[in-house]
Amino acid sequence: MTEGTFIKVGMADLNMGESGAILKTTGLGSCVGLTLFDPQLRIGGMAHIMLPSSDIAREGQLNIAKYADTAVPELLKRMMSKGAVTRRLVAKMAGGAQMFAFMGGTDTMRIGPRNVEATKQMLEHYHIAVVAEDTGGNYGRTVELNTDNGVFSIRSVQHGVKEI
Amino acid sequence: MSLFKNDADFKMDVLREVGNIGAGNAATALSTLLNKPVDMAVPTVSLLPFEAIAERVGGSEAVVIAIFLRVEGDAPGNMFFIINREPARRILQGLLGFNAAENDDYSELELSALNEIGNILAGSYLSSLADFTGLRMSPTVPSLAVDMAGAILSYGMLQFGTMGDDALLIDTTFLEGQQEAEGHFFLIPDPESFDKLFRALGVPI
C-alpha cells in the first residue's frame, strides 16, 4: 500500500490503510463516514456506517460494518491489531445529512442525525475524541482520509472541497 | 441472497409487470405533459447490492435530479423519479418555456416545477398500481434533491438495510424518441410489502 493508493470503502463497509494510502468513500447521504487515525504509526481506518444500531438487524449474517454500535469496535479492533493505540487515535467524521425535507419528519427521515449521534456515543465510550467533523446539512459528501498526514477531505456538489 | 423461497422467477415476472403497469401510466402522463411521445423500456427487476443501485444512474458520485417519496398504505416502499440534467432542461423548456440555466443553478421556480412533475408521475404510477392490485397505496409529499446519486438513493435502502446488503429494485427507463435514457423510475418496496403484493395478485407465497 504505497503512497497515493486509493482504498475504496463501500457502503456498509470498513477498511484500513497505511503508508500514505488514501481511504475513500463516495456518496454519503444519511450515512456517516468515520475515520480513525494513529498519527504516530500513520495508520488510518474508515467505516461507512448506514444505520445507528444493530438492535434492529434482522439479517442472518450480521454485517458489522453497517451499524454504528458494531462498526466502531470492529474498526478499533483491527487498528489495534496493527499496533494502533486507542489514546493516540484521532477521530474525524462527515455525513449524516438529511437529504430530503419531509413533512412530519418520521424516524426514518431523521436517520442521518441518529447515525451521527450513535457514532459519537460509541467513540465517547472508548474515550476517543472527535477532533473535526462536517456533519448534518442536506447534501451528499465524498470523503477521503490521507493516511500520511491524517488530513480528511470532504467534497460536495454545492460546497466544493474542504479539508479538516 | 434470494428474497423469495418459491417460484422466484415467476415472482420476478410479476414484479416486472407491476413496473410495467405503473411506469406505463406514468409515461403516458409525461407524454401528455410534454405533448410528445415518451417511450419506456421493459422494466428490470433485480436484487442488487446497495452500491450497484447507484451504478444504474451513473455511479455513486454522479449528480442527478431526484424526486423521492415514500409510498404509504398497504404495501409501503420508496419511490424515486430520477432525471438526468439535460432532459430536465428540455422538459422545463418544453413545458414552461423557461430558458433553463446552463449550469446546475436551478431557480426556485424550476425546482418547484420539476418537483410537481415528479409528483404527477409518481401519482399516476401509484394509482394504476393501486387499481391493479386493489391495495391502498398513496404517495407522501415528494421531495427533490440535486445531488450525488449514492447520497440520494441510500434513502431507498434503509428498510432493506436491516435485512442484508441487497435491495430489490424495479427499474423502468424512460426514453424520448431515439434519444438516450431520459430518466428512471425506481420502485423499492419495503421487504414486508412483497407478500402483500403477491397475495393481492393471487400469486401463491
B65-111 pLDDT tens trace: 999 999 999 999 999 999 877 778 877 887 777 665 566 677 888 88
How many angstroms separate the CA atoms of B173 and B132, rounded?
Answer: 21
- All three cell numbers of A85, joined, read 493505540
Per residue in B145-163, pLDDT (tens digit) is 999 999 999 999 998 998 8
Q: Which residues of A are catalytic?
A: 31
What pLDDT is stored for residue A8 in this prediction? 95
Proportion of chain B above pLDDT 90, given as a percent: 47
A contact residues 42-81, partner B, Cβ 8 Å cutoff: 50-51, 56-60, 63, 66
What pLDDT is stored for residue B101 in this prediction? 59
A contact residues 105-124, partner B, Cβ 8 Å cutoff: 108, 111
B2 in any annotated domain: no
The reply to whether residue B143 touches residue A101, judged by beta carbons under 8 angstroms, is yes
| Nearest CA distance, B150 vs chain A (angstrom) | 4
Q: What is the CATH number of the domain that holds B76?
A: 3.40.1550.10
B168 in any annotated domain: yes
Q: Which long-range contacts (CB under 8 A, 24 or more apart) does B53-57 make?
A: B53/B153, B53/B156, B53/B157, B53/B167, B53/B169, B53/B186, B54/A27, B54/B149, B54/B150, B54/B153, B56/B169, B56/B171, B56/B184, B56/B186, B57/B82, B57/B84, B57/B149, B57/B153, B57/B184
Residues of A within 8 A of B81 (CB-CB) are: none
User: What structural domains and CATH numbers belong to chain A?
Assistant: 6-163 (3.30.1330.200)
What pLDDT is stored for residue B3 in this prediction? 75
The reply to whether residue B151 touches residue A140, judged by beta carbons under 8 angstroms, is yes
Residue A72, pLDDT > 80, answer: yes
Q: Which ipTM did the prediction report?
A: 0.91
Residue A100, pLDDT > 90, answer: no
Q: At residue B131, what are phi and psi to the nearest 5 degrees?
A: -65, -45
B1 in any annotated domain: no
Domain count across chain B: 1
Residue A161, pLDDT > 90, answer: yes
Residue B163: which domain range? 8-200
B14 in any annotated domain: yes
Look at residues B125, B175, B142, B157 and name the one whose alpha carbon lies nearest to residue B53: B157
The dihedral formed by the CA atoms of B196, B199, B203 and B205, expressed in degrees to the nearest 10 = 70
Measure CB to CB from residue B155 to each of A11, A100, A142 and give the nearest one.
A100
Q: Where on the phi/psi map is residue A145: left (φ > 0), alpha (ψ -120 to 50), or beta?
A: beta
How many angstroms separate the CA atoms of B88 and A163, rounded?
Answer: 33
B205 in any annotated domain: no
Proportion of chain A above pLDDT 70, given as a percent: 93
Q: Quick one: average pLDDT of A97-112?
A: 74
Q: Is the dihedral of CA B133, A102, B122, B183 positive or negative?
A: negative
Residue B140 is which amino acid?
T
B174 in any annotated domain: yes
Q: In a mutagenesis test of the B interface, which of A11, A66, A141 is the best target, namely the one with the most B β-carbons within 10 Å?
A: A11
What pLDDT is stored for residue B1 in this prediction? 45
How many angstroms separate the CA atoms of A127 and A150, rounded?
Answer: 19
